[in-house]
Amino acid sequence: CQAALAAKYPHAGGDVLLRLDHELKVIGKLGYAGYFLIVADFIQASRRMGVRVGPGRGSASGSIVSYLMGITAIEPLSRGLLFERFLNPERVSPPDIDVDFADQGREKVIQYVVEKYGRERVAQIMAFGRMAARAAVRDVGRALDYSYGEVDALAKQVPLEPDMTLERALEQNPDLKAMAAEPRAARLLQVARNLEGLARHASTHAAGVVIGVGPLIDEVPLSLGSDKDAGRGVVTQYDMARLERVGQ
């Protein structure tokens, strides 16, 4: 950060130096210096490789450390952006730096991280597709050998809204509630409600990567990527939320 001051703040005043000193102390105290260095490194590597990377977005843009390290391209002080929205010692939560890479070059950046930190320490993150309300009705209907017409009629009564559940659908749609009075429909909906929200299939997160202090096999269960993920190698069997809880 000190090395970048002359180029990015050629006439740095006391406000710049005070802000930088404050941020560096907070980052160091909370133990996130390594995180910033790693993110800055693969962003710089992506630029060297000609992979397009965004200028930064979200709360990380409020950090002068992010700006000086080239993580973001947005000068925060002149825009009144607050560091505390990104990292606050009073409400400690892991810093979240959103980095956007072009789809065409993303694999190059992931491969760079693998080569730099070691294949045994780097993996992509598994994501789980969950059984949503309509999908649960259709899957259960097929498993119970109901006719397509029966299943389709019920499924179409489930509103297409984010986070819709069968319980809410029954409350909101009188037609679906009336159909549920019929024994066959009631059975299908009851089984579907029991399965709703369960993991239906696993896939690889589009860009989520975890780097371990040591070999990941010592910390989390791992799996080989499927054929469609050829070249992506190893993936964790935990999703992002569970990885956070084991400290990776």
Strands (E), 148-238: 199-211, 222-224, 234-236
Q: Check residue 74 and report its DSSP letter.
A: -
Burial class (CB in 10 A: 0-12, 13-18, 19+), 109: buried
What is the pLDDT at residue 127?
87
Report d(CA 141, CA 153) in Å as an integer.
11
Full pLDDT tens readout for the chain, 248 residues: 999 999 999 888 899 999 999 999 999 999 999 999 999 999 999 999 999 999 988 899 999 999 999 999 999 999 999 999 898 888 777 788 889 988 888 889 999 999 999 999 999 999 888 899 999 999 999 999 999 999 999 999 999 888 899 999 999 999 999 999 999 999 999 999 999 989 888 888 877 899 998 999 999 999 987 644 444 578 999 988 888 888 74
What is the pLDDT at residue 13?
85
Reference 33, options 42, 24, 41; nearest CA is 24
What is the pLDDT at residue 226?
60
77 neighbors 15 (Cβ within 8 angstroms): yes
236 neighbors 246 (Cβ within 8 angstroms): no
What are the helix (H) ranges across the chain? 2-8, 14-30, 33-48, 64-68, 106-117, 133-143, 148-155, 166-172, 174-179, 183-195, 240-245
Report d(CA 120, CA 204) in Å as an integer.
18
195 neighbors 136 (Cβ within 8 angstroms): yes
Contacts of 71 (CB under 8 A, 6+ apart): 36, 39, 40, 43, 56, 60, 63, 97, 99
